[in-house]
Amino acid sequence: MSKERIYLFDTTLRDGQQTPGVDFSVEDKIAIARMLDDLGIDYVEGGYPGANPTDSEFFSKKRTARSHFVAFGMTKRAGVSASNDPGLAALLQSSSDAVCFVAKSWDYHVRVALGTTNEDNLESIRASVAATREAGKEALVDCEHFFDGYKANPDYALACVKSAYEAGSRWIVLCDTNGGTQPEEVRRIVAAVIASGVPGGHLGIHAHNDTGQAVANSLAAVEAGVRQIQGTLNGIGERCGNANLTTIIPTLMLKPVYSERFEIGISTERLAGLTKFSHAFDELLNRAPDLQAPYVGASAFATKAGIHASAILKDPQTYEHVAPEAVGNERRLMVSDQGGKSNFLVELRRRGIVIDKDDPKLDRLISQVKEREAQGYSYEGADASFDLLARRMLGSVPEFFKVDSFRCMVERRFDATGNIKTVSEAVVRVTIDGETRLSVAEGHGPVNALDIALRKDLGKYQAEIEDMSLTDYKVRILNGGTDAITRVLIESLDSTGERWWTVGVSDNVIDASFQALMDAIIYKLVKNREDVRLAG
Ligand SMILES: [Zn+2]
Edge-to-edge strand ranges of the sheet holding 499-506: 469-477, 486-493, 499-506
Sign, Cα dihedral of 412, 413, 418, 421: negative
Say how many Å lie between the CA of residue 27 and the centre of ligand 1.
23
For 282, 407, 506, the CA distances from 484, given in Å and listed in that order, are 21, 22, 9
CB count within 10 Å of CB 66 equals 14
Do the Cβ atoms of 341 and 321 come closer than 8 Å? no
Q: What is the pLDDT of residue 339?
A: 46
Q: In sequence order, what are the residues at sequence separation of 6 or more whose Cβ sits closer than 8 angstroms to the Cβ of residue 84?
A: none
Q: How far is the CA of 176 from the centre of ligand 1 (A)?
A: 8
Encode pLDDT of 74-90 as tens digits. 999 988 999 999 999 99
- Using CA atoms, how far apart are residues 324 and 270, in angstroms rounded to an integer? 14
Residue 334 has pLDDT above 60, yes or no: no
**In the chain, pLDDT over 70 holds for what percent of residues?**
93
Give the CATH H-level superfamily of domain 4-243.
Aldolase class I (3.20.20.70)
| b (16+ CB within 10 A) / e for 172-207 | bbbbbbebebebebbbebbeebbeeebebebbbbbb
Is the Cβ–Cβ distance between 362 and 345 less than 8 Å?
yes
Q: How far is the CA of 209 from the centre of ligand 1 (A)?
A: 10
Query: In the prediction, which pLDDT does 481 show?
Result: 63
| CA–centroid distance, residue 207 to ligand 1 (Å) | 7
Q: What is the pLDDT of residues 269-307, one digit of tens each?
A: 999 999 999 989 998 888 878 889 999 998 898 765 445
DSSP per-residue string spanning 389-435? HHHHHTT------EEEEEEEEEEEEE-TTS-EEEEEEEEEEEEETTE
Q: 96-113 pLDDT, tens per residue? A: 999 999 999 999 999 888
In the structure, ligand 1 is a single-atom ion and the residues with CB under 5 Å from it are 15
Q: Kindly give the distance from the C-alpha atom of residue 362 to the centroid of ligand 1, in angstroms, as a whole number.
A: 46
Higher pLDDT, 172 or 345: 172
**Å from CA of 72 to ligand 1 middle:** 12
Tens of pLDDT, residues 392-420: 988 889 999 999 999 999 999 998 999 99
**Confidence tier at 454 by pLDDT (50, 70, 90):** very high
Ramachandran region, residue 328 (left: φ > 0; alpha: ψ -120 to 50; beta: rest):
left
- Print the SS3 string covering 450-503: HHHHHCCCCHHHHHHHCCCEEEEEEEEECCCCCCCCEEEEEEEECCCCCEEEEE
The average confidence (pLDDT) of the chain is: 91
**Measured in angstroms, how far is the CA atom of residue 8 from the centroid of ligand 1?**
15
Residue-wise pLDDT for 8-58, tens only, equals 999 999 999 999 889 999 999 999 999 999 999 999 999 999 888 999 999
CA 11 to ligand 1 center in whole angstroms: 8
Query: Does the CA dihedral 84-96-231-6 come out positive or negative?
Result: positive
Ligand 1 center–CA 146 separation, angstroms: 11
Separation of CA 208 and ligand 1 centre (Å): 6
Percent of the chain whose pLDDT exceeds 90: 73
Q: Report how far residue 387's alpha carbon sits from residue 519's, in angstroms, rounded to the nearest whole number.
A: 10
- Binned at pLDDT 50, 70 and 90, residue 255 comes out as very high
Please report, for the chain, the start and end positions of each structural domain, with discontinuous segments joined by +: 4-243, 307-393, 410-457
